[in-house]
Amino acid sequence: MTNHPFEHLLHQVYTQGERRTDRTGTGTRSLFAPDPLRYDLRDRRIPLITSKAVPWKMALREFMWMLSGSTNVDDLRKSSPAMAAIWDNWAVNGSIGPTYGAQYRDAGGSLWITPPEHFGSGLEHPGSGAGVDQVREVVIRLVERPDSRRALISLWSVAALRDMTLEPCMVLFQFSLRGPNYDELHLHVYQRSADMMLGVPFDLFQAGFLAHAVARELALSTGRPIEATSLTWSAGDVHIYENQLEPVKLQLTQWAHAEPERATIVIDRFPSLRLLDGTLEPGHVNIHNYNPEPAIQGGPIAV
């Protein structure tokens, strides 16, 4: 696999992207449906780009907040005030509505029927029936049928979109156990909208973490070794905001002398620490062999 796949795509969007208007009014350079990025996850490797430093602890805390099922930014603030401050741009009374966390862990059970201005006011009403814990469902499906083609998480809940303060960017995750012993976990992610400068470095890391965390859950559930093997990331609209062009130029300059990507993830082996019940926490995860170029201020977030 080509090293630095992210940077190749970043350069392609920068040099070949079509100038387009966008929801935020900022303007972008955009490509649609470029070739997928592919990452080898064997031997605990994880996608962390090296052309600039990615604050992986911040990305991990954000993602584990989502995977906890929470949709309240104040819960995120307990572990990452800086990340919560970003989410404050979309939250209403602390709530982001039935988006990320609700869809991961309670899909169909958190359909809000009150206007967005009432989020967090106590006027929300859950939909009829209990929701579906999609993360747990993936694990169950793969434990019961290792050859399953139905181990998917979909965050694009059409009925709930109108009540989300921000629709999910990564919208579909398909897991597949491969190999003669069904012990190699592959993950394919589809992202509808991909902010290359600020969002995608986080997204790639988070998708890689999810692959490793689900492989760990499968190993603990079955009592046999199962390893995350590959991540395929594909996207629809891949873009750079016009106010990010100078930071992108700097990142492409740093890429010229960036180290190969060889970061690895270490998740605490203690078997009682589980993703599914929330006992696995950010402090139980560490990253080794990560030596990136300096951090780059990516410019203001397009809201």
Q: Which residues are catalytic?
A: 169
Residue count of the chain: 303
Contact present, 125 and 146 (Cβ < 8 Å): no
Contact present, 71 and 131 (Cβ < 8 Å): no
- The Cα 55–Cα 47 span in angstroms is 13
- The Cα 292–Cα 50 span in angstroms is 4
Residue appearing with tokens 């991540």: 231
DSSP 107: B
Helix (H) or strand (E) holding 20: strand 18-20
Distances (CA, A) of 216 to 9, 58, 276: 30, 22, 11
User: In whole angstroms, what separates CA 245 from the centre of its chain?
Assistant: 24
